[in-house]
Amino acid sequence: MVDGAVLHNILSYGPVFLLIAVRAFAMIQTAPLLNNDSIPMVAKFALAGFAAFAVLPTAAAFAPETLGLAGVTGVGAVTLPGSDGLLSDLRFEALNLNFVLLLIGEATIGIITGFFMTIIFAVFSTAGQFFSLQMGFGASETFDPLAQVENPLMGQYLNLVSMLVFLVIGGFYQLFLGGFWRSVQSISILMVIEGREPVINLILTGLPRLFRDAFVIALPILGTLFLTSLSTGLISKAAPQINILSEGFPISIMTAFFVIWTILPFMTEAFARIINNGFASIQGLYAQIGRPIGGSGL
């Protein structure tokens, strides 16, 4: 009976459900951790469908007036439980060019959300790349299954730490409730087009913020390695008979690992703050260009 009711709701509001599912699937395909190739495509489709069904009753951004369909009544509009107004199921214009453009727009919103989260996670691998060369691991690049790129060992290590921090602070909870659900409540593709300047500014400011945060994370290790290199250089001048090339690499590696072990609690706090600030920026964008909504998505 429950499965029949779920299927009935999905079929009754099929076009709106499809629009929301496309937004969810585009976000899953571009968001960190979820876009991993090791996750079966069937699981991604199932997750997108479940997320779309869960938020369907509160999809206020798909009201007829929001989509430019004010005054639509009868077979072209339905009332969903928990919503303040009518939500158009678009049955009167399904499979036409307008609906296809709406699908593309929903995918664009999902890609923007996932891409911004990718920028946030790139902070940690970039921080590892900053000091891998000075540490002596510059040539030790391996394939990172999380970032899907060739990454130095320390960049991959920081990626793993950031993944654990993401899970501990409820990152998926924030992504689907504070990111996806609030976007379905507040913004449509028309709002994104009209408010494109804040969207572009968010993405453009995210890139310099990436390098700033990565440099701040790597600065203690970079500073320590600089002092280590300076000290070994002075020793090589004072005692030329010492093979500083063979002795310098172990010293740099041990020093870097000791510094990382010492500041790791502070690094995890910084990771959590960076991730939370990223979600806050996304929600701030929704509040700036979208419909006002009450309560908190978190």
> Do the strands 149-152 and 78-79 form a parallel or antiparallel pair, or are they unpaired?
unpaired
CB 144 within 8 A of CB 159: yes
Distance CA 144, CA 125 (A): 10
C-alpha dihedral (91, 287, 118, 223), degrees to nearest 10? 180
Condensed to tens digits (0 to 9), the pLDDT of residues 222-273 reads 888 888 878 777 777 776 666 666 666 777 788 888 888 888 888 888 888 8
- Sign of the CA dihedral with 150 first, then 155, 161, and 167 last: negative
- What is the residue extent of each domain of the chain? 2-289
Condensed to tens digits (0 to 9), the pLDDT of residues 82-129 reads 444 445 444 445 566 777 888 888 888 888 888 888 888 888 888 887
Distance CA 205, CA 199 (A): 10
Condensed to tens digits (0 to 9), the pLDDT of residues 31-47 reads 888 887 778 889 888 88
Condensed to tens digits (0 to 9), the pLDDT of residues 124-158 reads 888 887 877 777 666 555 555 555 556 677 878 88
Residue 49, pLDDT score = 86
Would you say how long the chain is, in residues? Answer: 298
pTM of the model: 0.75
